Amino acid sequence: METIIYAVIVLGLLGLLAGTFLAFAAKKFEVKEDSRKVITEAALPGINCGACGYPGCAAFAKGFINGEVNKNDCLPGKRQGVPEKLELISKMSDEELDKLYEEANEEEDKIKEELEKKL
């Protein structure tokens, strides 16, 4: 009976130590998401149709940030004002984009609302 109690205590302590280490490691090695990509992706329609030549809106957003894609390449987004939003994003500084990202609490709907207000 004592052996079982000791085994439970030791395994409990090991689990606690491992959990603490994993929580610390997750915070220490956390990768921050690029606010430019998130904001650009929020400006897109989000239907992942591939009409732009990219496999989805996330890839299009990354391509736009890297200068590989024209703002008018999102065909379904033309009616929704995507080129205008992308033009606005391209004119904003990194500090403005970071501020927008933080104010919207990283939520895509709030980012869309803020972009609409700025247009």
User: Rounded distance, CA 82 to CA 23, Å?
Assistant: 39
Give me the domain span that covers residue 81. 35-118
Count the neighbouring beta carbons within 10 Å of the beta carbon of residue 62.
17
Q: Are residues 50 and 13 in the same domain?
A: no
Q: Is the pLDDT of residue 101 over 80?
A: yes
Same domain, 2 and 41: no
* Alpha carbons 79 and 67: distance in angstroms, whole number: 22
Specify whether 49 is located in the same domain as 107.
Answer: yes
pLDDT of residue 1: 81
Q: Give, rounded to a whole angstrom, the gap between the first and last alpha carbons of the chain.
A: 72
Q: Domain check: are 5 and 45 in the same one?
A: no
* pLDDT (tens digit per residue) in 1-39: 889 999 999 999 999 999 999 999 999 998 877 888 989
Please report the pLDDT score of residue 31 as a whole number: 83
My answer on whether 16 and 43 are in the same domain is no
10, HSE (Cβ side, Cα atoms, 13 Å) = 6
**27 and 43: one domain?**
no
pLDDT digits (tens, 9 = 90+) for 45-80: 989 898 888 999 999 999 999 999 899 999 888 888
What total number of domains does the chain contain?
A: 2
